Structure 1
Amino acid sequence: MTTRQANWFGHSIDFDYAASVAGYTTVLIRLVTGWWFFHAGYTKLGGFDASGWMVNATQGSPIHGFLVWAAGTPWMLEFTNFMIPVGETLIGLGLLVGALVRLAAFFGGVLMVFFYLGNADWAHGYVNGDLFGLLMFVIVGVFAAGRIFGLDAIIEKTATVRQRPVLRYLLG
């Protein structure tokens, strides 16, 4: 067991955790989330159209007006139809191989916020699959999951990253 200390709302809290289990769990979350997004994006490549969802499925959503505008604006709809499958595929791939994990987690989180607010399926409460997806990206990014059995551990040792430590915020 490993003991850590955290500061929560001005109070110091000590807690124990199993370091090896935490590392394996972090990698598992990264891989499952990566496969989920990679598969979702890859299966949409070459034939994705978000206009129907943006206009019809988002009724009652707090961002419905924005999505209707985006669906009715040709360049925005083309951008969305290209970026959703490509973005999901690249985010998933980054998580699967453990490269640029924090960057991938950030953009995955952005997509999940749009999905959460766009779906607005809150008939049974505010906790749903989209919120859990957002939580998975937060966990992967905060715990720097790419440093455990991922390419980020190798990338961080390069001279480029050592000379520019700010790049570590994208890795991990």
Structure 2
Amino acid sequence: MFAKWLRENNVAAGLLTVLRVWLGYNWMHAGWGKLTGEGFDATGFLKNAVANPVKGPDGNMVYSWYVSFLDNFAIPNVDLFNFIVPLGEFLIGLGLILGCLTTAAMFFGIVMNFSFFLAGTVSHNPTDIFFGFIILFAGFNAGKYGLDRWVVPFIRKTVFKQTPEQAHKAV
């Protein structure tokens, strides 16, 4: 019952819009600060995550596979991460604020939040993940009062070759 309300109700769409814009502003603000500041460099963060991994009660690394990924891929390619992290944060925020490709933007936001979590950073990530899953679960309704109202049917029509009736019926 709640799932149906969240995914189909106009009041839910309005509440989701407020939540979506708030989260979008936070994402966009974080990305914009990194893009326009004195330069973003993830090297220190990545090296610290490798040097101080998340440990369980027994003192063993919990996410050794992630630490290995950071040490063997992220640090050697830090320039790539210095580019994609701020740009990704900014684009996630833009997508959420505009309600354009909302579920895709929120999916990548949740992936980024979990990446920070796996590296040992808590901060506001639990809140972002919680609200992000609500937006993701709501699907199209989260972007109903945004550009998704037009973008999603257009994509379904042109990419998936659905008729306008099928495209609107699917959302």
Q: Report TM bin, short chain.
A: 0.7 to 0.9
Number of aligned residues? 145
TM-score of the superposition, structure 1-length normalised?
A: 0.72
Q: Which has the higher strand share?
A: 1
Letter in 2 for 1:146: G
Report percent identity of matched pairs.
32
Structure-2 separation of matches of 1:165 and 1:96: 28
Partner of 2:53: 60
Give the CA deviation at 1:81.
0.5
Counterpart in the other structure of 2:137: 142
Q: Is the 8 A contact 1:41 1:87 kept in 2?
A: yes
| 8 A Cα contact 2:49 2:67, kept in partner | no
Report the AA paired with residue 66 of structure 1: F
Q: Note the C-alpha offset of 1:56.
A: 1.4
Counterpart of 2:134 in structure 1: which amino acid? I
Counterpart for residue 30 of structure 1: 20
TM-score, L = length of structure 2:
0.72
- The answer to whether the 8 A contact 1:33-1:92 is kept is yes
Structure 1 70/104 Cα, relative in aligned 2: closer, same or farther at 3 Å?
Answer: same
Equivalent residue, structure 1, for 2:59: none
1:114-129 residue pairs with structure 2 within 5 A?
Answer: 114-121=115-122, 129=124
Residue 44 of structure 1: aligned partner: 34
Deviates more, 1:86-95 or 1:38-47: 38-47
Answer 1 or 2: which has greater helix percent.
2
Cα distance between partner residues in 2 of 1:21 and 1:136: 17
RMSD: 2.7
Determine if the alignment matches structure 1 residue 132 to structure 2 residue 127.
Answer: yes
Matched AA of 2:150: I
Alignment CA distance shift 1:65-1:38 (3 Å) = same
> Are residues 82 and 119 of structure 1, via their aligned partners in 2, closer, same or farther at CA, if it must alter by over 3 Å?
same
Pair 53,101 (structure 1): closer, same or farther in 2 beyond 3 Å: same
Does the 8 A contact of 1:54 with 1:71 survive in 2? Answer: yes
Structure 2 gap segments, 5+ residues each: 55-62
